[in-house]
Every structure is written in C-alpha cells, then in structure tokens.
Amino acid sequence: MNEAAGDGAASVALVTGANRGIGLEVARQLARRGMMVILGARDQEKGQAAAKGLAAEGLSVIPKQLDVADDLSVDKLAAEVEDDPGRLDVLINNAGIHYDTWQRTLSADLEVVREALETNLLGAWRVCEALVPLMRRDGGGRIVNVSSGAGSLSEMGAGTPAYGVSKAALNALTVRLAAELRSTGILVNSVCPGWVATDMGGSGGRPVEDGAAGVVWAATLDEDGPSGGFFRDGRPIEW
C-alpha cells in the first residue's frame, strides 16, 4: 500500500496500544512514510505525551483515547474516525497485556486469563467490528494483528498461559477475518515482531525498530500481497 490513498489523500492508519513499545515505533514508522496516524492509547495523557515526542521529531500523529476492552471507548473512537478523517486504510491491532511468565497452566489465575482474552483477542475483534465497515466502504485496506511466537501451536511450550492462549486465539481470528474479507480488497495478517526489548518483553531482545518493521511491512503490502498468514520479518512462520 502506498502512502497516498487512491484519491491522492494520505492513507490513514490506526495503531492501538501505541503510547509505548512496538505500537509507538509502528506509529513512528508509518508517520515517516507520510501516513496520517491515529495513536490509540488507553491512558489519554500517556497518548498525548507520546504524540508530543513524535512531534519533536517532526512527525504528526493524532492521539486518541482508546481502551480496546471497553465497548463505549471503541464505539466513540469509531464515530470520531467516521467524522474525521472519514476513512481508515490501515488498522494495527497492537494493544496487548499480561505476558504472564509467572504462571503455569494448571495453577493459572483464570481472572488474569480472562483479562488477557478480553484485550488481546476480544479487543482486536471489537475494534474490527467497529472499524472494518469503514474500510469496506472505501474498498480496501490492511489489518495487522500483532501476535507472538508464544501463540504459535508449533512453537508453544510451557509458561505464559494467558498470553499464549490469547495470541493463538488472535491468530484464529486472523484466519477467519481474512477468509470473510477475501473479496473486499482488505488484507489481514498476523505478525510476530519477535523478542523485542520493550517494557513487556524485557531487556535482551532485539531493537524495537526491527520488530516494528515487520508490522509495517504487513501494513503496507501491495494489493496482490498475502492475506490470512502468520509472518515474522516478512517471512511466513508456522501457526
């Protein structure tokens, strides 16, 4: 997808959970490509601070309060986007919680599991239900669900049960959405950014710029690009 939409206007991207980490870096890289980026953040003040930081780099993003686990928050944002800018070309479902390294499956706190599912799976699902109709109206777009190798059945092991199960479910949502949207011009893919040095991933991972680049790759695919796949660094990985 080019930076300019079909009518010559700048493409519009929404990044959820974008006030820090991978989401913030994805917003930065998309803005550098000339896209109009809506920076979604659960905490409005943190979102505004992140946008201010990008503005200091000469980039323009629009901070918006967005709690993907809250129906009213999602519906409010969808109405605002419908009103202005009136289009959406790229949706990055990045918001995620509970990388629960302290848990094991048979002793997991199921309330933590429910919270992870509410944000990591149902949050992305909720945002898609609210905003994909706007994308369909304009005849195309890109949806990127930021997943993880922790959600890959082929790679999955012990530990992080809430996070891993929620990301596996997110991958299933990707496949379903891609199938339902196949004739609409909307491409839907899951992307694992790899182990990245962020607040959630901890120290020792690779630079956040590298992890974000794979997400941006999927967000800017050409019209004949893949849909319904799981990728890391632009290369397919096993579900």
Active site residues: 163
DSSP labels, 131-191: HHHHHHHTT-EEEEEE--GGG-TTT--SS-HHHHHHHHHHHHHHHHHHHHTTTTTEEEEEE
**How crowded is residue 228: how many other Cβ atoms within 10 Å of its Cβ?**
16
| Distance separating alpha carbons of residues 137 and 123, to the nearest angstrom | 22
DSSP character at residue 95: -
